[in-house]
Amino acid sequence: MDSTLACLAAWMPRQRWYAAKGRLPSLRLIAWWEPPASTSEGAGEIVGGGDARVRTYLVADEGALPAVLYQIPVVARATASVDASPDHIIGSPEPGTTFIDGPFDPAYADALLALVTVGGQGRGPRAVATGHPTRIVPSDLSRSATVLAGEQSNTSLIYRSDDGAMPIICKVFRQIHPGLNPDIELQTALADAGSTHVPQAIGSIEGAWPDPATAGGTVTGSLAFAQEFLPGVEDAWRVALHAAARGEDFRDRAHALGAATADVHLSLAGLFPTQATEPVDRESTAATWRRRLAIAIAEVPAIADRREAIEAVYARATSVPWPPLQRIHGDYHLGQVLQVPGRGWVLLDFEGEPLRPMSERVLSDLPLRDVAGMLRSFDYVAGSIGLDHPDRSPDAVREWALNARRSFVEGYASVSGAELDVENALLAALELDKAVYEAIYESRNRPTWVTIPLRAIARLVGRAAAAA
């Protein structure tokens, strides 16, 4: 097993989903499991000839603080029979055997689909993986699988058949946590309730493994989630970006997006418990705002001159009534929404912010946090146009974003019934906090983009000062 861990440790830092870039993992094997023999070519067989062994390793990277638990599906084949792309080869832990990244091998792809759509249990030392189908799909169809390009924190496989059956997308969670993933919990509940604003849920896989944080005990958590795949459509980021670049009026589409967002929030409030906002909730939120601001000032000195103005926006927000807390999307932006002909806007990826602990992502929150996230996303469209097309009139681009933002809020208010506009004190504070977070992120990762959140901060505090 030492050779297997060494092989994985050398390969993981090159993967988009690996969280600790710039250093080698310090891995400990927690458990592994293999799919039911009937669902996989050669499941549990010794590699040799044309056979394949499908195995999913759960390994903790203890070099990270806190430790991160990864799910790593692997297909082991005889080296002589491997025809996979070098980009998808993990390595050779022993002579004559080659490890392939599971999602890029048909043996794993077939086993994954069978477990999530038919059910059953995969087992291994100290681990069990149970398939939970939620929608009946034909199991006798031949489906080909491709891996969705561009994902970072997870890996998704798209299954298509030649007979026109519903395409399926199955997301394999790379970082796993105890508890039901909110992506599964919220989307399944919304789909079962008849919402047209989310894809149909197909099924999921739940795992049980030893608790790496304690000396004993077992925890359960989500390993994969399959849902309806909507082909040939663009996400709202691309739709909005193209519209802004061409100077197209986006107000009607932004209004419809706001209405769809409110409809989903109303559905979530009916499906899950809500709770009144207490003074402790306000103070906890305000403390988070202040803590993030302190980090931002340390890393982005340009923010320091606006500290008092920013804190004034936060103080104003804590002095007005707050709506009840409820389940929300949690990581809402234009890239999380699809424009589907004949169906309208469809929301995706209810997993919450990937960097937040799962224990926080499942808590009730302010629905206006999602609204603020979308407002920041419209601002990023304008900022992106300004960076990529410096010949475009800055005033025209800003006017496009302003109209889209207002129309989105108006659409949200028309369905939610909330008295809401872009001047709302709580919404302004949430958007400002998001911009402060963006300044930190951009300074660390894309320094040339830091002007986008910095301009937003200046605008938001200036607007608040004028309204005071």
pLDDT at 42: 44
Is-contact 296 436, C-beta < 8 A?
A: yes
Q: What is the pLDDT of residue 136?
A: 80
Query: pLDDT by residue (tens digit) across 30-39?
Result: 999 999 975 4
Domain limits of the chain? 2-228, 234-467
Asked whether the predicted pLDDT for residue 376 surpasses 90, the reply is yes
Tell me how far apart the alpha carbons of residues 1 and 130 are, in angstroms, rounded to a whole number: 25
**Residue 19 — left, alpha, or beta (φ > 0 → left; ψ -120 to 50 → alpha)?**
alpha
Average pLDDT score over residue span 340-351? 95
Residues sharing a CB contact under 8 Å with residue 129, sequence separation 6 or more, in sequence order: 33, 35, 56, 115, 121, 122, 123, 205, 206, 207, 208, 223
What local confidence, expressed as pLDDT, does residue 344 receive? 94
CA 403, CA 387: separation in Å to the nearest integer? 20
Residue % of the chain over a pLDDT of 90: 76
Please give the Cα distance from 398 to 63 (Å, whole number): 44
pLDDT for 180 equals: 93
The letter for the amino acid at 253 is R
**What does the DSSP 8-state code read for residue 81?**
G
Backbone angles phi, psi at 338, to 5 degrees: -110, 145
Please give the residue that has the higher pLDDT: either 48 or 55.
Answer: 55
Please report, as a single letter, which amino acid is at residue 6: A
Rounded-to-integer distance, Cα 313 and Cα 317, Å? 6
| Mean of pLDDT values over 426-444 | 95
Which residues, 6+ apart, have CB-to-CB distance to 445 below 8 Å? none
Q: What is the pLDDT of residue 152?
A: 79
CATH code matching the domain that covers 234-467, chosen among 3.20.20.70, 3.40.50.20, 3.90.1200.10, 3.20.20.220: 3.90.1200.10
Q: What was the pLDDT predicted at 354?
A: 75
Q: Tell me how far apart the alpha carbons of residues 453 and 446 are, in angstroms, rounded to a whole number.
A: 12
- How confident is the model over 78-136, as pLDDT tens digits? 998 898 889 999 999 989 999 999 999 999 999 999 999 999 999 999 999 999 999 88
Which residue type, as a one-letter code, is found at position 257?
L
Which amino acid makes up residue 53? R
Residue type, 190: L
Q: Which two tokens stand for residue 45?
A: 């067989």
Reported as a pLDDT band with limits 50, 70 and 90, residue 466 is low
DSSP structure string for 329-383: -SS-SGGGEEEETTTEEEE--TT--TTS-HHHHTS-B-HHHHHHHHHHHHHHHHH
